[in-house]
Amino acid sequence: MTTFVDRVELHVAAGNGGHGCASVHREKFKPLGGPDGGNGGRGGDVILTVDQSVTTLLDYHHAPHRKATNGKPGEGGNRSGKEGEDLVLPVPDGTVVLDGQGNVLADLVGEGTSFVAAQGGRGGLGNAALASSRRKAPGFALLGEPGDAGDIVLELKTVADVALVGYPSAGKSSLISVMSAAKPKIADYPFTTLVPNLGVVTAGSTVYTVADVPGLIPGASQGKGLGLEFLRHVERCSVLVHVLDTATLESDRDPVSDLDVIEEELRSYGGGLDKRPRVVVLNKIDVPDGRDLAEMVRPDLEERGYRVFEVSAVARTGLKELSFALAELVAKHRARKPKEEATRIVIRPKAVDDAGFTVTREEDGLFRVRGEKPERWVRQTDFNNDEAVGFLADRLNRLGVEAELMKAGARSGDGVAIGPEDNAVVFDWEPTVTAGAEMLGRRGEDHRFEAPRPAAQRRRDRQAERDEAVQEFEDFEPF
Ligand SMILES: Nc1nc2c(ncn2[C@@H]2O[C@H](COP(=O)(O)OP(=O)(O)OP(=O)(O)O)[C@@H](O)[C@H]2O)c(=O)[nH]1
Ligand SMILES: [Mg+2]
């Protein structure tokens, strides 16, 4: 028997960015020809893409660790490192991507729909790109950033138009086997069907898919029987069919109370299933008692507003009428739905921090800096290289981090952490000379010699200066 896997945990890791290169051009008689270290290549992404030819998540069950390739480091002679290759993972139509906490990240429906599950790290800039009029020959380069890595959960929700629900042995699989070419297992014991079956039905000019899910029993919502787990396969369907057994030998059951039980379970499941249009099929009317019972309960069911079909999956009666009625409902639903969405690319949203960064003082006196840029800059820094550390300090200073730390009350020697609690760079704060000097004025300038400016003007000027400086640094970044 083939294993059916409809939920897997997948560990994805994008490629790391390659490090930038610090190199100095050398030529005979021209020993210092300027910096020529190239940039590191970007790491590859991990991308999930719907591929109609894939029908299960089995591959990922067997090999749940997937990694894209790293970017290569930059080289001298201004050679950029090669980019890492994206890793494209084919997934079945109807795959839902969740994070470890169960939040839906993407719902992949339609051939080619893609989701970037892990983004590759940026390559580090080489010293050639870091050179400027003020820093003519940087003796350092930026590190490549690590790629995203983490666990995601893939869940398959079959994309079927019609779902058959009902008690075990009501004849759901039998019905799908005679309405379509599907050949599911059929037997006279409960829970024959352990995984959903799909069949394709053609009725007139309408072609639609029917899913048969494992049987439900009272208390399924509490996990009785096979539970409600498989109902997620029918969440997307447009029509529900109650398959009711008119010939059951269990004395405490009849089609109407069976229907009530299943309805109750659908309600507990939620997910909008209780709002789907539904029809009722009274099956097994080839059995004489079954036919009598069907006749008896029909008015009751119709009174409740259901369209009722009396069929026999074994004798193959009443099937044509049923399949055309379902086709009509499906067609109606399709007409209401917006036109087939074009292939979508879903990118995981990133938090946007308008302020650029925040500084908070924690209970133990530690100052924590959070923000996309400062955190990224820290990751790019080679802390073994003093010049690189100085460059980081400069960047932070120009973004206004030092000023903000001072405002928050940080003193020389206080602990400062940049990054989240579990992954921060912590250091003893030593205000850089420029930061200190900026309080008085920039080096080479002395405000005492200037005509006094109103405080607001001074603040605006300083902000403009800072913006310009940040821009200058940002311009280095080719992303
Ligand atoms: N007489 C008669 N028996 C039927 C009919 N439809 C199904 N059966 C029988 O009912 C039993 C159960 O049929 P299945 O199709 O396996 O039922 P199911 O609803 O898929 O059951 P689960 O997979 O266990 O949920 C089998 O022995 C079938 O042969 C019918 O129309 N008439
Ligand atoms: Mg079955």
Provide the CA 242 distance to its chain's centre, in angstroms.
34
Instruction: Compute the distance between CA of residue 351 and CA of residue 353 in angstroms, rounded to an integer.
Output: 6
CATH 3.60.15.10 fits 358-475, yes or no: no
Q: Please report, to the nearest 10 degrees, the dihedral formed by the alpha carbons of residues 300, 303, 309, 314 taken in order.
A: -10
Right CATH for 162-336 from 3.10.300.10, 3.40.50.280, 3.40.50.300, 3.10.20.30: 3.40.50.300
Residues with CB under 5 A from ligand 2 (ion): 173, 192-193
**pLDDT: which is higher, 197 or 80:** 80
**pLDDT: which is higher, 225 or 332:** 332
**Atom of ligand 1 at shortest range from CA of 189:** 24
pLDDT value, residue 365: 87
pLDDT value, residue 31: 62
Ligand 1, atom 30, lies closest to the CA of 284
Kindly report the length of the chain.
Answer: 479
Domain with CATH 3.30.300.350 in the chain: 358-475
* 154: Cβ contacts below 8 Å, ≥ 6 apart: 7, 8, 10, 48, 57, 60, 91, 95, 96, 97, 98
Domain with CATH 3.40.50.300 in the chain: 162-336
- The finding on whether 191 has its CB within 6 A of some atom of ligand 1 is yes
pLDDT value, residue 106: 87
pLDDT value, residue 287: 95
pLDDT value, residue 467: 64
User: May I ask the CATH architecture of the domain 1-156?
Assistant: Distorted Sandwich (2.70)
Q: Is 256 within 8 Å of 297 (Cβ atoms)?
A: yes
Q: Is 47 within 8 Å of 116 (Cβ atoms)?
A: yes
Q: What is the mean pLDDT of the chain?
A: 84
As to burial, measured by CB atoms within 10 angstroms (0-12 exposed, 13-18 middle, 19+ buried), residue 349 is exposed
Would you say 34 is a known binding-site residue? no
pLDDT band at 226 (very low <50, low <70, confident <90, very high): confident
pLDDT digits (tens, 9 = 90+) for 168-208: 999 999 999 999 888 888 888 888 888 778 888 999 888 88
Percent of the chain with pLDDT over 90: 44
pLDDT digits (tens, 9 = 90+) for 130-154: 988 878 888 999 999 999 999 999 9
- The finding on whether 186 has its CB within 6 A of some atom of ligand 1 is yes
pTM score: 0.65
Q: How many angstroms separate the alpha carbon of residue 167 from the centre of ligand 2?
A: 9
pLDDT value, residue 479: 36
Q: Is 9 within 8 Å of 61 (Cβ atoms)?
A: no
- The finding on whether 197 has its CB within 6 A of some atom of ligand 1 is no
pLDDT band at 256 (very low <50, low <70, confident <90, very high): very high
Q: Which ligand approaches the C-alpha of residue 249 most closely?
A: 1
pLDDT value, residue 255: 94
Strands 87-91 and 46-50, bridge-based pairing? parallel
Please report the DSSP string for 289-341 in residue order.
HHHHHHHHHHHHHHHTT--EEE-BTTTTBSHHHHHHHHHHHHHHHHHHSPS-P
- The finding on whether 184 has its CB within 6 A of some atom of ligand 1 is no
Ligand 1, atom 32, lies closest to the CA of 284
Instruction: Evaluate if residue 353 carries a pLDDT over 80.
Output: no
pLDDT digits (tens, 9 = 90+) for 269-283: 887 887 889 999 999
Q: Which residue has the tokens 């005492």?
A: 448
- The finding on whether 246 has its CB within 6 A of some atom of ligand 1 is no
Q: What is the mean pLDDT of residues 114-121?
A: 93
pLDDT value, residue 378: 92
pLDDT value, residue 151: 93
Domain with CATH 2.70.210.12 in the chain: 1-156
- The finding on whether 369 has its CB within 6 A of some atom of ligand 1 is no
